Structure 1
Amino acid sequence: MRTAILLSPFLTSLALLTSCSSPPKPPSVDEGNRRPVNSAMAVELQVCKNELQNTRLLATEATRLADSTSATLASIAARQQALADLNAPEPPAAQGNALFTVRFGYGSARVDIPADAEKALIAQAKSAPLIMLRGRTDGPTDSLAESRISRERANAVRDYLVAAGIDASRVRATYQPVGDHVADNASASGQVLNRRVEIELYRALPVALGAGQ
């Protein structure tokens, strides 16, 4: 009975040793997923990737700065132009044609212009591209006599201007024997004002006339 008790622990140990007689298998490794951890090529590739990303970021930032600078310069230029336009002097107002009037005695075509008026007339006439003369009378009705005197007055003023140095090609003479009165022709004072030649000095050629020349 004692012998059986002593053998029991031995048998148990023997059974355990028998079950462990085969060593455990090592874990398997998939060779397709292996990557070099510290190889020089892998490190260089990673460095290149980082540098490429940094270059892209720098290029994007440079483009943004260039666009921002262009917009700023355009805004400054627009403000400077607006300021220049604000401070620019206004162009002088266009002047109208100058008008002189020569008065005549009854039935006369003699030109008699006061010295001060003559000086101003000649000075402005020399720079006028067109001079229009309009001979008028105080005649109550149309007649050959009124036509003749109105024409002679216009021609007399034309000759006067040409003699003063005005280019004859810039002078146009017209006449009208009756009408176009500037005063009441029923009164003596009005008739004095109606016996006249109007001298209109143009600042610029009329469009139709200028296009035809």
Structure 2
Amino acid sequence: MRGIIALTPFLPWLLTLASCSSPPKPPGVDESQKRPVNAPLAVELQTCRHELQNTRILVRENTRLAETTATSLAVLQARQMVTASTQGNNAPHEAANRVYTVRFELGSTNVAIPPEISAALVEAAKSSPLILLRGRTDGTSDIPIESRIARERAEAVRNHLVAAGVDPARIRATYQPVGDHVGDNASAQGRNLNRRVEIELYRALPVTLSPTIAAQP
């Protein structure tokens, strides 16, 4: 009996030690905070989509650059041919190529040429062996929409000439979305001048010069 009475003061301490020796409960998880983890397949699919889009942009720009380079080469050959021909036979200097300019409203690709100017343009174009079209914008960044507008402006002028009876086989069209400005692009008047298609009527067909002619001073 005395042993039981003697242990009575120590019971609270024993209970405390027993509670401390029990393993802690695992922390609870708030289901509302869960977020799905990206599956490897989804990540790979998204990466492929980005790569495909970048490839499409690169192909489009490379195609435009190739077309511009080919046209520039044809222009250079034509100028070399005219120069070599004049030097070879001491012929009097002929008039330079004629250039007509078609202006456009902001964002527009509609061709609006006064009838009397259109008649003179078509008549001269029918007798020209090479017609070079250069589509331009007042854009400040090389972005797809500026490229599209520049291209469609050149195509609209080409369609206008073909509808009037000009041989489409003699027409070359190129375009440039930014740069090559003829006016101050910071002013409204300058931007009006920059939204254009230049129509250059060549007096002679471009030819490839022989090494002998090309080497002449």
Q: TM-score range by the shorter chain?
A: 0.5 to 0.7
| TM-score scaled by length of structure 1 | 0.54
Please state whether the residue corresponding to 2:139 is helix, strand or coil.
Answer: coil
1:135 Cα shift? 0.2
Q: Deviations over 1:129-164 (max 9, x none)?
A: 000000000001110000000000000000000000
Aligned to 1:206: 206
Separation in 2 of the partners of 1:167 and 1:177?
26
Aligned to 1:178: 178
1:206 Cα shift? 2.0
Separation in 2 of the partners of 1:198 and 1:205?
18
Equivalence map 1:59-74=2 (5 Å): none
1:94 Cα shift? 1.1
Q: Does 1:159 align with 2:159?
A: yes
Q: Deviations over 1:38-60 (max 9, x none)?
A: xxxxxxxxxxxxxxxxxxxxxxx
1:197 Cα shift? 0.2
Aligned to 1:117: 117
Separation in 2 of the partners of 1:208 and 1:150?
29
Aligned to 2:23: none
Separation in 2 of the partners of 1:136 and 1:93?
30
Unmatched 5+ stretches in structure 1: 1-89
Aligned to 1:194: 194
Q: Does 1:94 align with 2:90?
A: no
Separation in 2 of the partners of 1:143 and 1:191?
17
Residue identity opposite 1:112 in structure 2? A
Separation in 2 of the partners of 1:175 and 1:154?
7
Please state whether the residue corresponding to 2:208 is helix, strand or coil.
Answer: helix
Aligned to 1:104: 104
Q: Deviations over 1:15-48 (max 9, x none)?
A: xxxxxxxxxxxxxxxxxxxxxxxxxxxxxxxxxx
Unmatched 5+ stretches in structure 2: 1-89, 210-217
| TM-score scaled by length of structure 2 | 0.53
Separation in 1 of the partners of 2:119 and 2:95?
20
Please state whether the residue corresponding to 2:117 is helix, strand or coil.
Answer: helix
1:121 Cα shift? 0.3
Separation in 2 of the partners of 1:182 and 1:207?
29
Residue identity opposite 2:148 in structure 1? R
Structure 1 window deviating more from structure 2 (195-204 vs 114-123): it is 114-123
Q: Deviations over 1:97-136 (max 9, x none)?
A: 1000000000000000012211110110000000000000
Larger radius of gyration: 1
Please state whether the residue corresponding to 2:96 is helix, strand or coil.
Answer: coil
Please state whether the residue corresponding to 1:96 is helix, strand or coil.
Answer: coil
Separation in 1 of the partners of 2:149 and 2:182?
18
RMSD: 1.6
Please state whether the residue corresponding to 1:137 is helix, strand or coil.
Answer: strand
Query: Where does structure 1 differ by over 3 angstroms across 4 or more consecutive aligned residues?
Result: 90-93
Separation in 1 of the partners of 2:122 and 2:115?
11
Aligned to 1:69: none
Separation in 1 of the partners of 2:208 and 2:108?
35
Separation in 2 of the partners of 1:96 and 1:208?
20
Aligned to 2:131: 131
Separation in 2 of the partners of 1:136 and 1:116?
24
Aligned to 1:6: none
Residue identity opposite 1:102 in structure 2? V
